[in-house]
Amino acid sequence: MARKRVLTQRERNVLFQLFKGRCASCACALDRDWEADHVTRFADGGLTLIENHQPLCPPCHTFKTTMENSTFKLRKHQQAAITRANGIVLGEIDHDVTVANVTPGGGKSGLVEVFVATLFKADLIDLVIWVCPRRSLAEQAVSAFDKQLIPHRIRAQWSPNKEPLLTEREMENGVRCYSTTYQSVVSQPDLHKQMMRDNRTLLVLDEPHHLNGEEPNKVDKAREGWHVPFEDMAALAEHTLCMTGTIERHDGKPIPIIPYFQKEDGKWYPRIDIIYTRREAIEEHAKIKLNFKTLDGPVEYTDKDGLHVDTRIADADEATWGETMTAALQQDRFLQSAATECMNHFKEYRDTMDRKAQMIAVLDRKATARKLARWVRNTWSLKVAIALSGEGREHLTIEEFRKGKYDCLFTVGMAYEGLDAPRASHGLILNKNRSLPWQTQANDRFTRWNYEAPRHLQEIDGKTGTCAQRAYIFTTQDYKMLDIIRQLEEEEQLNGIGEQDDPTDGGGGGGGGGGIDSSFESLAAAVDAVSYTDREGYLINDEDVVTIRRAHAWKVQLRFVDHNELLDMVRKGHLVIPEDVMPEDLAKPPAGPGGFDPEQVDNLRNECQELAIELDTLWRRVDPTIDRGTANERCKRHFGKAREAMLPEELVEARDWLQAQRDMAFENLRQR
């Protein structure tokens, strides 16, 4: 006997009364053509009973059916936005501002379509004003709006900031949304305010952390600054949607328009209504995981006191960080060594994993970007583009890069919001900006899910839920950068924002799940050290390091597998590495005198020579009459033989003696 498929007219009447004549999705008043929808689909065994039905208007029923029959699914924050928008329509939410904190690349543009489709249908708004930090982002907003993630009949366009912002004919043809920039609004605020007085408006503020704000508890604040026109516009709007991937400013000041609340600790926290974390985006395959590879190397410079300093990036502390980083980022030796590490990894990735992969380099200065770009182009024979702000063609160059015309892009400050390049698998970030919001935005240029990647990179492991796509970031191993990396890794493993809870009952992104792996390697620019961490951030033992290195030497493809996952495969017997496989640098070298290999002996002699030169320089600053080579002569007299005739154990003693003499010379110079 065939199953019953549709409700009777009597059952439809009961269902209509149960929902008080309103759509179960958007809460609009139902017309005669409303649909009785199966909550559990009929095709999935859902019964045709009132308990398994909900009344939907035709657009909502069409959208639900499309989503059910499609492989595309709304993400958690987009579902939360639907709940939030419906709550506004029903009057259940009395806030005039909705704050959405969506991890960069998580798809926050779709939130605008959710609010537009819901509020327009409920006849609460007539106009949408979408304000972005830059014109390129405003134009991208129009493009994203036209994709119609949520079905609606509204069209959008970029506004040139001239009266009229929208003509009557444009509005009659369905153009009810225009995008603009913060700078345009500030230059002519009255033009936009008048548009809002004439139309019921949804105001969308994209990345409002670009506005300067005052202390949240400051009552008599001065009416000056970029935030003032937007406070006035928010007061005129029917509703304001603030969307950001960075819920804090680099200077720690509060973000205008966003409501704040004070907790018992006396600190102010933003009220967040919709949350989509990095972890949730990774779990839903909206983003891919970050793999940091930090670079350390030797640095030489003359400090502010005129003293010669020979150090390493990893050794810089708070007092020396600025001078050390400035010197390192201006030394060709370090820059080229860092670029070599990144480019070798990138080339292997292109040859074995994805031939269309791209690389983005973010440098500290324009001159450095140009110089290193030329060197990479000549050394690796790749198509290299340079995009520097203020040079006239930078936006066209970026667009050409996004379309695949170039393999590498070198820039200074343009690898930020709006640079959407899913093919970019590798990043070389060599600058001094240690603002967490900036670094978050810059690193997230590489975490977009690449839907055009080869099939083997898009396949999801049914057991672990992971995929092979990764973002490989090469950056400096200074203590400030390591702190930022730890915070980004915590975001991958934690769900939510900890202390910054929403004190209201507003909707938010979903919750838990298993741990998300994160990979962190430490490399030296001269490649003299490699370290790995486990899933909790602790260094793994030497035996496991050797296993990882052997796997990398055996098959190039294994270099692009998370090293924790690789170790799991070895332990479970899913991966068996031949016993005779061993990297060249781990193979036992021929032993020299006293157990030292020839390379170690050469390194000791070179180290002694460098110390002797430095010692001569320090002595000559105190007494210019001292000849060069004095340190070598005194070392020879002290030990009774030249360094060329010393055994390895004696070279170690000579090095220690020269170091002690250098330290004494430094101290004498300071006392003078």
Average pLDDT for 113-137: 89
Q: Give the residue extent of every domain in the chain.
A: 9-68, 76-276, 287-539, 593-671
- Closest to 331 (Cα-Cα) out of 305, 301, 360, 309: 301
| pLDDT above 90 coverage of the chain, percent | 28
Does the pLDDT value for residue 404 go beyond 70? yes
Does the pLDDT value for residue 429 go beyond 70? yes
CB atoms within 10 A of CB 464: 11
128-142, 324-338, 420-434, range with the lowest pLDDT: 128-142
Position 531 scores a pLDDT of: 55
Are 519 and 292 contacting, i.e. CB atoms less than 8 angstroms apart? yes
Average pLDDT for 145-160: 76
Cα distance between residue 259 and residue 457, in whole Å: 41
Does the pLDDT value for residue 505 go beyond 70? no
pTM of structure: 0.65
Average pLDDT for 207-218: 65
Cα distance between residue 470 and residue 449, in whole Å: 9
Radius of gyration over every alpha carbon of the chain, rounded to an integer in angstroms: 31
Position 508 scores a pLDDT of: 41
For the record, the structure tokens of 259 come out as 């409501």
Are 227 and 235 contacting, i.e. CB atoms less than 8 angstroms apart? no
- Closest to 28 (Cα-Cα) out of 66, 61, 69: 61
Which CATH number fits the domain 76-276, given the four candidates 3.40.630.10, 3.40.50.1000, 3.40.50.10810, 2.40.10.340? Answer: 3.40.50.10810
CA distances from 235 to 306, 456, 519, 636 (A): 58, 51, 46, 82
How are beta strands 519-524 and 424-430 bridged, if at all? unpaired
pLDDT digits (tens, 9 = 90+) for 409-422: 999 977 665 677 88
Burial zone of 251 (CB within 10 Å; 0-12 exposed, 13-18 middle, 19+ buried)? exposed
Q: Do the two domains 76-276 and 287-539 of this chain adopt the same fold? A: yes
- Closest to 437 (Cα-Cα) out of 204, 255, 205: 255
Of the two residues 402 and 518, the one the predictor is more confident about is 402
Specify the amino acid at residue 262: Q
Chain centroid to Cα 315, Å, comes to 26
Does the pLDDT value for residue 649 go beyond 50? yes
Enter the DSSP assignment of 363.
Answer: E
Does the pLDDT value for residue 504 go beyond 60? no
Does the pLDDT value for residue 593 go beyond 70? no
Residue 595: pLDDT band by 50, 70, 90 thresholds?
Answer: low
Residue 359: pLDDT band by 50, 70, 90 thresholds?
Answer: very high
Of the two residues 358 and 519, the one the predictor is more confident about is 358
Does the pLDDT value for residue 185 go beyond 70? yes
Cα distance between residue 526 and residue 524, in whole Å: 5
Residue 194: pLDDT band by 50, 70, 90 thresholds?
Answer: very high
Position 2 scores a pLDDT of: 65
Position 465 scores a pLDDT of: 64
Residue 507: pLDDT band by 50, 70, 90 thresholds?
Answer: very low
Average pLDDT for 63-91: 80
How are beta strands 97-102 and 239-244 bridged, if at all? parallel
Position 328 scores a pLDDT of: 92
pLDDT digits (tens, 9 = 90+) for 531-579: 566 666 566 777 888 888 888 888 877 777 777 888 888 888 888 888 8
Position 538 scores a pLDDT of: 61
Cα distance between residue 614 and residue 659, in whole Å: 10
pLDDT digits (tens, 9 = 90+) for 8-44: 999 999 999 999 998 887 677 888 889 999 988 888 7
Position 383 scores a pLDDT of: 94
Burial zone of 436 (CB within 10 Å; 0-12 exposed, 13-18 middle, 19+ buried)? middle
Average pLDDT for 357-381: 93
Average pLDDT for 212-227: 52
Does the pLDDT value for residue 318 go beyond 50? yes
Architecture of domain 287-539: 3-Layer(aba) Sandwich (3.40)
Does the pLDDT value for residue 672 go beyond 70? no
**Mean of all residue pLDDT scores within the chain:** 82
Enter the DSSP assignment of 390.
Answer: T
118-122, 195-199, 447-451, 517-521, range with the lowest pLDDT: 517-521
Position 69 scores a pLDDT of: 62
Residue 526: pLDDT band by 50, 70, 90 thresholds?
Answer: very low
Does the pLDDT value for residue 442 go beyond 90? no
Specify the amino acid at residue 536: E
Burial zone of 66 (CB within 10 Å; 0-12 exposed, 13-18 middle, 19+ buried)? exposed
- Closest to 239 (Cα-Cα) out of 98, 127, 112, 93: 98
pLDDT digits (tens, 9 = 90+) for 281-307: 888 888 888 888 888 888 989 888 888
